RNA sequence: GCGCCCAUAGCUCAGCUGGAUAGAGCAACGGCCUUCUAAGCCGUAGGUCAUACGUUCGAAUCGUAUUGGGCGCACCA
């Protein structure tokens, strides 16, 4: 519809161009759905834009444009309004045609190919496998999964990927934390390090180690802690303390160290995978950081940077000169102790991503990582790739509110609300919807009470209720013996104000999908669905659907059937269910 | 101190990349169920778009400054 109108405009502008009235035709002609129905169905500001170069008043130019458009079966009426907007009033037939389109395409309605099959790598969540996902990760998960759905809907070939940080010191700390809890199971008396992972889940994993390996790796705590330097709370250095325990544990355990680590990583990563799967968040790839080291890619990437002169040595460490590419300061890639930093493997990871031949690489990060963008882009440029191909989307934190009060959370003490707890408390549908209801770069307050409420005003249920109501109408129709025959419905009978409003809303769906997808803004779709539901509920209250006049009944049923289809399609992109009864 | 993000109704937020009288949802107030689910609908009230300049036909939107909040500035990840 919009495309056809745009075409009419272009033809008109080309004629004016030939006459020399205007100098050129803009590449983009804005044609908007109007907010106010007195402004017609679509409006364009083209005359305002071109007025200056045409050297005439916007209103005069608008008249010339309209004159060249002439008659079309699409348009009932055009008018010039305000400073020079051109408003289009569509004919009834062109407005109701959307119902036929929707019913014909069914679950495929809204799909398009603006993405032209371009391959996109979308990396999101990628939380360290040191514990369960918490509510902050939940927002990234819901956002990423929805962006992926939207991009697929408009024709991109998207791969979802989770980068697993299964290498490095954090993994050692995890292993040792489990090992110490394991020893405690056997009654070993020890002091748990300040810097260890304090959460209860570590104790559960320790029990799994017992279940799997029995007493095989039991060691004497006194032997383990003998001559170990003091921990922070005892006046020492917590980092040195836990490093010493790591070293000692490796020596005492030998191959057992790997065994404990395996149980830990499998348990935690398995938990994360289950959690995300239950949340409706699917991944095509789980990319292991350790694999970059095992394949030698981390090392060879650093060597490449060294050969090309991007790396220098200072204070015994290797520094990457990221300032050459606009970073604030240079960054260490290999530490004085010979161990590479997280950044080093991240460079290799991004190089590997580019080598896989994607047209677009997108990372979704927590907003606290924004300072990291410059150095990653620098490394891409230094390795002769185009940093513009990497897009980084930032997701702000979510604060939880319960009973009007902020829920305090701290990762350190292990007192955080997990994603699983949130899902169990409010349900997957409400969680998915609430997470994407806010623009991702906005801080968001997640009201647990509102998300849970099934009796109060809750946007998720409001939309689902619209769907359930439609389903109920069709059940009633069946009971009354009405044979639904939507393909033959006479849509010209839809002339009530609430019907026109609903038709207009349905006409918006395609552009909402496209806009949400291209701008990575799922909230646009969430808002749209609520507005669509509002239009339906108004219609429901204004007009009975099952009336004595069969032709009118068929027309109205066709309309709400189309509405139901769009609700289902939209909710499904958000990962939210559409229950048939509530 | 430097950098990034943010500031819109009492609360939570939209505002389609500069357009028409700034919109929703909660909360408040007043109506609507013998009729397809009242988890709904209709109406009323609520605003100096943080502040001040600037850019132009036109600014919540763009620029500069100020104020107030969040985050980041490791040989951690």
Taking only the tens place, the pLDDT of each residue in A325-369 is 888 889 999 998 888 899 999 999 999 999 999 999 999 999 889
A541 Cβ within 7 A of any nucleic strand B atom: yes
Retrieve residue A360's tokens: 């677009």
Please state whether A485 falls in left (phi above 0), alpha (psi between -120 and 50) or beta: beta
The arithmetic mean of pLDDT across residues A298-316, rounded, is 92
With a cut of 70, say whether residue A313 has pLDDT above it: yes
Distance CA A140, CA A176 (A): 29
Domain A2-90, CATH class in plain words:
alpha beta
The arithmetic mean of pLDDT across residues A102-131, rounded, is 95
Retrieve residue A349's tokens: 């990871």
For residue A91, what pLDDT is reported? 82
The arithmetic mean of pLDDT across residues A550-557, rounded, is 96
Higher pLDDT: A143 or A238? It is: A143
The arithmetic mean of pLDDT across residues A436-453, rounded, is 82
Retrieve residue A190's tokens: 């020890």
Distance CA A502, CA A566 (A): 12
For residue A472, what pLDDT is reported? 96
With a cut of 60, say whether residue A413 has pLDDT above it: no
For residue A414, what pLDDT is reported? 52
Per the listing, tokens 């509530």 go with A582
Q: How many angstroms separate the Cα of A410 from the Cα of each of A399, A415, A436, A503?
A: 12, 5, 23, 49
For residue A76, what pLDDT is reported? 81
With a cut of 70, say whether residue A111 has pLDDT above it: yes
For residue A306, what pLDDT is reported? 93
ipTM: 0.95
Answer whether A452's CB lies under 8 Å from A430's CB. yes
How many Cβ atoms from other residues are within 10 Å of residue A39's Cβ? Answer: 18
For residue A441, what pLDDT is reported? 83
For residue A455, what pLDDT is reported? 55
A273 Cβ within 7 A of any nucleic strand B atom: no
Retrieve residue A437's tokens: 């209801």
A453 Cβ within 7 A of any nucleic strand B atom: no
| Chain A 156-215 residues in 7 Å CB range of strand B | 165, 168-170
A337 Cβ within 7 A of any nucleic strand B atom: yes
For residue A468, what pLDDT is reported? 96
For residue A411, what pLDDT is reported? 53
Render pLDDT for A23-67 as a digit per residue (tens, 0 to 9): 777 766 778 777 777 787 888 888 877 777 777 777 787 888 888
List strand residue ranges (DSSP E) for A112-199, in order. Answer: 119-123, 157-164
For residue A42, what pLDDT is reported? 85
Confidence of residue A454 (pLDDT cuts 50, 70, 90): low
A35 Cβ within 7 A of any nucleic strand B atom: yes
Å from the A34 CA to the B49 C1': 22
Bases of chain B below 7 A from a protein C-beta are 2-6, 12-17, 19-21, 24-27, 35-42, 57, 70-77
Those residues whose C-beta lies under 8 Å from the C-beta of residue A546, and which sit 6 or more positions away, are A473, A476, A477, A480, A482, A553
The arithmetic mean of pLDDT across residues A271-299, rounded, is 95
Å from the A317 CA to the B26 C1': 56
For residue A289, what pLDDT is reported? 94
Higher pLDDT: A409 or A107? It is: A107
Closest C1' nucleotide to A32's CA: B16
CATH number for the region A456-574 comes to 1.10.730.10
Those residues whose C-beta lies under 8 Å from the C-beta of residue A302, and which sit 6 or more positions away, are A311, A318, A333, A334, A340, A344, A347, A348
The arithmetic mean of pLDDT across residues A188-212, rounded, is 93
Distance CA A158, CA A259 (A): 36
Å from the A370 CA to the B73 C1': 11
Distance CA A9, CA A29 (A): 8
With a cut of 90, say whether residue A198 has pLDDT above it: no
Report how many helices (DSSP H) and strands (DSSP E) chain A contains, helices first: 21, 15
Q: Do domains A2-90 and A456-574 have the same CATH topology?
A: no
A316 Cβ within 7 A of any nucleic strand B atom: yes
Please state the domain extents for chain A. 2-90, 456-574
Retrieve residue A102's tokens: 């929707």
């Amino acid at each position: 519809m919009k495309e056809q109108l745009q075409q009419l405009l272009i033809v008109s502008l080309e004629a004016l161009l030939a006459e020399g009235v205007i100098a050129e035709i803009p590449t983009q002609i804005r044609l908007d759905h109007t907010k106010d129905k007195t402004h017609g169905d679509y409006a364009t500001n083209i005359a305002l834009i071109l007025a200056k170069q045409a050297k005439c008043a916007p209103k005069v130019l608008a008249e010339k444009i309209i004159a060249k458009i002439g008659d079309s079966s699409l348009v009932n009426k055009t008018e010039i309004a305000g400073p020079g907007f051109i408003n289009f009033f569509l004919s009834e037939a062109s407005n109701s045609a959307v119902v036929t389109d929707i019913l014909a395409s069914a679950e495929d309605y809204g799909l398009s190919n603006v993405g032209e099959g371009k391959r996109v790598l979308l990396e999101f969540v990628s939380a360290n496998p040191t514990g369960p996902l918490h509510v902050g990760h939940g927002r990234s998960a819901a956002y990423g999964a929805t962006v992926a759905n939207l991009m697929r809907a408009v024709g991109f070939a998207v791969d979802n990927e989770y980068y697993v940080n299964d290498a490095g010191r954090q993994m050692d700390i995890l292993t040792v934390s489990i090992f110490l809890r394991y020893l405690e199971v056997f009654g070993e008396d020890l002091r748990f390090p300040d810097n260890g992972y304090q959460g209860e889940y570590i104790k559960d994993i320790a029990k799994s180690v017992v279940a799997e390996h029995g007493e095989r790796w039991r060691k004497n705590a006194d032997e383990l802690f003998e001559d170990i330097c003091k921990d922070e709370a005892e006046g020492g250095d917590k980092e040195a303390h836990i490093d010493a325990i790591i070293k000692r544990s490796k020596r005492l355990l030998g191959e057992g160290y790997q065994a404990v680590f395996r149980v830990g990583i499998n348990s935690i990563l398995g938990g994360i995978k289950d959690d995300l799967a239950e949340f409706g968040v699917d991944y095509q790839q789980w990319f292991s950081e350790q694999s970059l080291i095992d394949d030698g890619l981390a090392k060879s990437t650093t060597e490449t940077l060294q050969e090309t002169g991007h790396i220098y040595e200072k204070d015994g460490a290797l520094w990457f000169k990221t300032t050459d590419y606009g970073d604030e300061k240079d960054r260490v890639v290999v530490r004085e102790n010979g161990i590479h930093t997280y950044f080093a493997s991240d460079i290799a990871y991004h190089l590997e991503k580019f080598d896989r031949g994607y047209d677009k690489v997108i990372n979704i990060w927590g907003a606290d990582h924004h300072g990291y963008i410059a150095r990653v882009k620098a490394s891409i440029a230094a390795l002769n790739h185009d940093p513009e191909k990497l897009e980084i989307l930032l997701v702000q934190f979510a604060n939880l509110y319960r009973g009007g009060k902020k829920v305090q959370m701290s990762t350190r003490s292990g007192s955080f609300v997990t994603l699983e707890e949130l899902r169990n408390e409010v349900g997957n549908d409400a969680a998915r919807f609430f997470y994407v209801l806010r623009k991702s770069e906005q801080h968001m307050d997640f009201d647990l009470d509102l998300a849970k409420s099934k009796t109060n005003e809750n946007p998720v249920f409001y939309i689902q209720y619209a769907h359930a109501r439609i389903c109920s109408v069709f059940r009633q129709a069946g009971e009354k013996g009405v044979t639904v025959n939507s393909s033959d419905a006479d849509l010209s009978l839809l002339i009530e104000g609430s019907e026109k409003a609903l038709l207009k809303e349905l006409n918006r769906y395609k552009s909402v999908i496209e806009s949400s997808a291209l701008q990575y803004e799922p909230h646009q779709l969430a808002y749209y669905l609520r507005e669509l539901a509002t239009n339906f509920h108004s219609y429901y209250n204004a007009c009975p659907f099952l009336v004595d006049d069969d032709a009118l009944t068929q027309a109205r049923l066709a309309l709400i059937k189309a509405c139901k289809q769009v609700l289902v399609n939209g909710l499904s992109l958000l990962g939210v269910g559409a229950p048939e009864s509530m």
